[in-house]
Amino acid sequence: MPKFLVIVESPAKAKTISKILGKDYTVKASVGHVRDLPKNKLGVNVRKNFEPLYELLKDKEPIVAELKEAASTADKVFLAPDPDREGEAIAWHLSEILDLPKKKVHRIEFNEITKDAVLAAIKAPRQIDKRLVDAQQARRVLDRLVGYKISPLLWRKVNGRSAGRVQSVAVRLICARETEVDSFTPQEYWTIKAELSRAKSKTFFSAPLSKWQGKRVIAASEKATAQTTVIDSKKLADEILKKTEKQEFAVASVTEKVSQRSPQAPFITSTLQREASTFLGYTVKKTMQVAQTLYEGVELPEGATGLITYMRTDSTRVSQQAQDDAKKFIISAYGKKYYPDKPRVYARKGKSVQDAHEAIRPAYPERKPESLKQYLTPDQLKVYKLIWERFMASQMASAEILTRSVEITAGDAVFRASASEKKFAGFTIVYDRLTKDMATDSESQPEGEEESEEATNLPELTKGEKLKLKDFKPDQHFTQPPPRYTEASLIKTLEELGIGRPSTYAATVNTIVDRKYVERQQKALCPTKLGQAVNALLVEHFGNIVDVGFTAEMEADLDKIEEDKVDWHLMLKGFYQPFNETLKKAEENMNKVLILSDQLCPACGQPMAIRSSRFGQFLGCVGYPECKTKIALTKEGKPVPEDRPSEELCKTCKSPMLIRYGRYGDYLACSSEECTEQRPILKLTGVDCPRPGCEGHIVEKKSRHGKIFYGCSNYSLNQCTSAYWYPPIVSGGPNNSNKCPQCGTMLVYKLLKRGDQVACAAKECDFAQPITGKETYAGQKKDTPTEVTV
């Protein structure tokens, strides 16, 4: 019988640790929290010093029973949830529920799931840190008080679904930015470039106007001073051109400067989320889900293996062992000159930084992404590559950049051109490959970098040299409004303001989107009418709750509880007394708000208002209760369309079929009230299912997460499992066919950043070739799939 029991949160983590510890240890998973505040009531005894009233989660009762049985026969119980406040709280709840002698229960933690880290933790157990537990309890109780006290009021007054200590501040920031965008007035300004060349050369280079009459030329969006000027009209631009075009252009100065470009620190949670959003287009939620699988363990030939360190951290610290491993790899792979004179140390400043953990880094720096490609999913590989390259670059030598700058005078005008080249690649031998391979659009820039305009074809020039003017290029511009927040920029702002923590950012963004306070428009986060109405009420009646400074102070107080500088009960008491008074005033003074839509009631002609229920949003007549008309809304917030006729007949009763809208979109339903036949509307691609013996067709489908894939029409009937993420080739493949020339199965069109390919759909076949441009494939914009039913 195993002597020891180890309890972790997730089954995947349990599997990885079990392989490390061997037969003397039983490793079981609690599958997250086993105890929490009740869902259907406040669950906090305010009068009894804010005592939380925890209850065992219903779905965790079998798991707890299993853990109790295993703990009763074990010599020692090691509690190994994640190394943060939430993990400490889970460990404490487990210790309370298992009700074991203190000497039998041990808390262990590790930042990475490697053999060395896990065995070291087993050798150095500790007691549960009650300060961490109290900090988590205070945060949980505080969030519950705010949510359960304000949310019912919002429901009654504005059909808002909820309020939250951090989410409401996030919504306020997004609404404030929207106000800035709406009120923005564009300002005109002009830039002027001179196309110049050497006297006997036919190669021209571009030099922007940098000074006019001794003042630096700036854009209208920049801060003006007595030493700057803005070309704010075409009239002024034309005047400058007229005065300058006949002047002699001469090189006034040539300077060369070698600068050092240092690498950035390894990832913390927020920077990983931002970079994954910028380079990969991932949502915060997706990034954390993928990182979690890399941390808990991926199946490799040697078994389940954790590939990265713990992914919820705000520390840039790196362990000595990791630094040594990185040094060894860098010198071996790139040479001694690519390693700095001394190891790099990244220190983060700020009251809210928790330095107990390491930065996010690969658990085994020597494992290059390419070596793991066959074992990881595409998403896992992309995130691991992001983490590996960022970490490796952070430990490397700086790049050396040579910048040549030339100033050219022409009367009252000074033009300036510059060009840069790498003298030594340094860390960019890793980082530049990252930016080229992984940027999802041409506008993406690596975090912390700005695009600078440089001259192409800048020749070697000498001071005093006369240049030839080819032409001027005056361009009109208008200042742009501040950009709307994206997930990445919102997280950056919340972090800079000291609001929320690494473990809360993903949940915050998901909540405000799920509550319909905010909607995604491409990458931008825009407030809905409901979000703006809720925000206006909260700002008016609960100013402190949505105040950035107040919320940041609350976060700081929560951190002080962890440092044992503040008693959590006193902190909650200090918050609750004024909050309760504010709540009473809001109950008396808050007026009900109707959010009107553009729709008119089909029954009485009055406006329809956006309302909410536990099933989602709908439109209700403002004449309620006299008029009870309701109109359901789609997920996009548009009125559900009425039933439409189709050309299909019911297979059961031969009655006409209607196109009807349901929770997953349009489907076919029989028009006869006595018949219940329903079936999906399928989009044929024109390609037959390649599975031998299957008579189905490949159709366009959507996953439950809304992602398009292609599967057999018999897929939903459980008769065939053929399914593909890439669209099938319809025609124009090799030999003008849609069949693989090697194995004869179906071909698919792979849209890849490194270049689109035609490839075999069969996993066991390696046929792939670049596209020729003659291929047609399912879902092509010029080809709309035919809607039919099968």
Dig out the tokens for 699 from the structure.
């159709």
Mean pLDDT, the chain, as a whole number? Answer: 88
Peptide bond connecting 625 to the previous residue in cis, omega within 30 degrees of 0: yes
Residue 782 pLDDT > 60: no
Confidence of residue 790 (pLDDT cuts 50, 70, 90): very low
Residue 696 pLDDT > 90: no
Confidence of residue 786 (pLDDT cuts 50, 70, 90): very low
- The most confident of the ranges 207-221, 579-593, 615-629 is 207-221
Around Cβ 242, how many Cβ atoms within 10 Å? 9
What's the mean pLDDT in 608-626? 85
- Determine the pLDDT at residue 735: 80
Measuring CA to CA, which residue among 407, 405, 411 is closest to residue 241?
411
Collapsed DSSP state (helix, strand, coil) of residue 115: helix
Percentage above 70 pLDDT, the chain:
92
Around Cβ 491, how many Cβ atoms within 10 Å? 25
- Determine the pLDDT at residue 705: 64
- Distance, in Å, from the CA atom of 31 to the CA atom of 418, rounded to the nearest integer, reads 58
CA dist 291 → 312, 489, 593 (Å)? 10, 20, 42
HSE value, Cβ hemisphere, 13 Å, CA-based, for 281: 10
- Determine the pLDDT at residue 436: 37
- Determine the pLDDT at residue 456: 66
What's the mean pLDDT in 323-330? 95
Least confident of 23-27, 374-378, 768-772: 768-772
- Distance, in Å, from the CA atom of 243 to the CA atom of 410, rounded to the nearest integer, reads 9
- Determine the pLDDT at residue 104: 93
Dig out the tokens for 248 from the structure.
């002699």
- Determine the pLDDT at residue 437: 38
- Determine the pLDDT at residue 789: 37
- Amino acid identity, residue 598? D
What's the mean pLDDT in 190-217? 94
Confidence of residue 318 (pLDDT cuts 50, 70, 90): very high
- Determine the pLDDT at residue 648: 84
- Distance, in Å, from the CA atom of 536 to the CA atom of 531, rounded to the nearest integer, reads 9
| DSSP element (H, E) containing 383 | helix 378-394
427-466 confidence digits (pLDDT tens):
999 976 444 333 333 333 333 333 345 666 899 999 999 9
HSE value, Cβ hemisphere, 13 Å, CA-based, for 756: 14
- Determine the pLDDT at residue 439: 36
Around Cβ 292, how many Cβ atoms within 10 Å? 17
Confidence of residue 79 (pLDDT cuts 50, 70, 90): very high
Query: Which region holds residue 558: left if phi is over 0, alpha if psi is between -120 and 50, else beta?
Result: alpha
Dig out the tokens for 242 from the structure.
């007229």
- Determine the pLDDT at residue 506: 86
- 3-class DSSP string for 391-427: HHHHCCCCEEEEEEEEEEEECCEEEEEEEEEEEECCC
Collapsed DSSP state (helix, strand, coil) of residue 736: helix
What's the mean pLDDT in 178-201? 94
- Determine the pLDDT at residue 783: 40
Which single residue is written with the structure tokens 């952070």? 394
339-360 confidence digits (pLDDT tens):
999 999 987 655 445 555 789 9
- Determine the pLDDT at residue 1: 62
Residue 646 pLDDT > 90: no
Residue 758 pLDDT > 80: yes
- What's 57's DSSP letter? -
- Distance, in Å, from the CA atom of 768 to the CA atom of 761, rounded to the nearest integer, reads 10
Around Cβ 434, how many Cβ atoms within 10 Å? 20
CA dist 374 → 77, 299, 369, 540 (Å)? 37, 11, 10, 56
558-604 confidence digits (pLDDT tens):
889 988 899 999 999 999 999 999 999 998 888 888 888 888 999 99
281-309 confidence digits (pLDDT tens):
888 889 999 999 999 999 999 888 999 99
Residue 392 pLDDT > 80: yes
Residue 261 exposed, middle or buried by CB count within 10 Å (0-12, 13-18, 19+): middle
- Determine the pLDDT at residue 448: 37
What are the catalytic residues? 310
Confidence of residue 778 (pLDDT cuts 50, 70, 90): confident
- Distance, in Å, from the CA atom of 113 to the CA atom of 115, rounded to the nearest integer, reads 7
- Determine the pLDDT at residue 450: 36
- What's 263's DSSP letter? P
Percentage above 90 pLDDT, the chain:
59
- β-strands 25-29, 4-8 pairing: parallel
Q: Are 497 and 548 in contact (CB under 8 A)?
A: yes
Collapsed DSSP state (helix, strand, coil) of residue 36: strand
- Distance, in Å, from the CA atom of 590 to the CA atom of 185, rounded to the nearest integer, reads 33
- Determine the pLDDT at residue 55: 94
Dig out the tokens for 460 from the structure.
């070697």
- Distance, in Å, from the CA atom of 76 to the CA atom of 23, rounded to the nearest integer, reads 15
* Per-residue buried b or exposed e for 564-582, using 16+ beta carbons within 10 Å of the residue's own CB: eebebbebbeebbeebeeb
